[in-house]
Amino acid sequence: MPEQVANDGTRWSKNSYSEDLDTAFSCSKWSKQKLSPDEVVEDFIKRCDEDAPIFMFLHGGYWQAEELSKDNNSFLGAPLIKNGAVFVTVGYSLVPECTLHDMVEQVQKVVVFVAKRFPHTRGVFISGHSAGGHLAAMMLSVDWSSLLQDKKNIIKGILPISGIFDVRPITKTYINEPLSLTESSAASVSPHLLVDAIPECNLGVKVHLLFTEYDPPVLKQQAQDYSKLLSSSGLDVEMTMLPEKDHFQELIELTDENCLFQKVFLRMMGLTS
């Protein structure tokens, strides 16, 4: 093999293979762009996501099911990535290791991290399924002006899927056993009860509530009630029902870019006409 020269002047040949592995496998060092290896990588990242919308997804599982972790929901992002979005699947601690309030704070910190990681994005769109939909809706109550300052309006859309917006009834079910919520603590993390306190920086956020025909009636009713409250507070709200599907089938449908919900996502992010 003839001697090769990397863009930093390093020479490498087959005979020196064992001595120059760092150079041999460093792709950025072999780029012929007029940039340093570090600049090559930085330029690549910038070009890939400079203006791309960010779609964040929060998994469900009633805040306690480990088998429904973020790693098991990454398949949902393929249609979004294909159409130009950056897809972020978000994990969070579960009960009984932490409280529902802790989860809200964790998601809030992830949103701040993502917003700073992609400073040129046209907007962050936060979605989630079931319990994840609840956490997504809770982000409407965060005062981003104090956390993101000049990027306070970077949150452009909230898209809960079959979410829980009034947590109080759950205190009277088996679901609450590991949650240990009281009526009072449940009220403090119920998006339905926090509409009047939505910070001014979030009043321009578009909200789209999604659910299925065969979701539990209580979830559909909560979505309708929450929609009315948001609308009466001046927020731009839409609702979409996926026909002939249930609470679990809707996630499988999201692998198809022609799925009704995927079309809603792409339209909100401005990735389709």
> Hey, which residues are catalytic here?
130, 215, 247
Strand order in the sheet with 206-214: 86-90, 54-58, 124-129, 155-161, 206-214, 236-246
What is the separation of C-alpha 233 from the centre of its chain, rounded to a whole number of angstroms? 24
Cα–Cα distances in Å, from 263 out to 1, 74, 210, 255, 266?
A: 52, 18, 12, 12, 5
Contact 158, 209 (CB under 8 A): no
In which element (H, E) is residue 144 found?
helix 144-147
**C-alpha to C-alpha distance for 22 and 27, rounded to whole angstroms:** 10
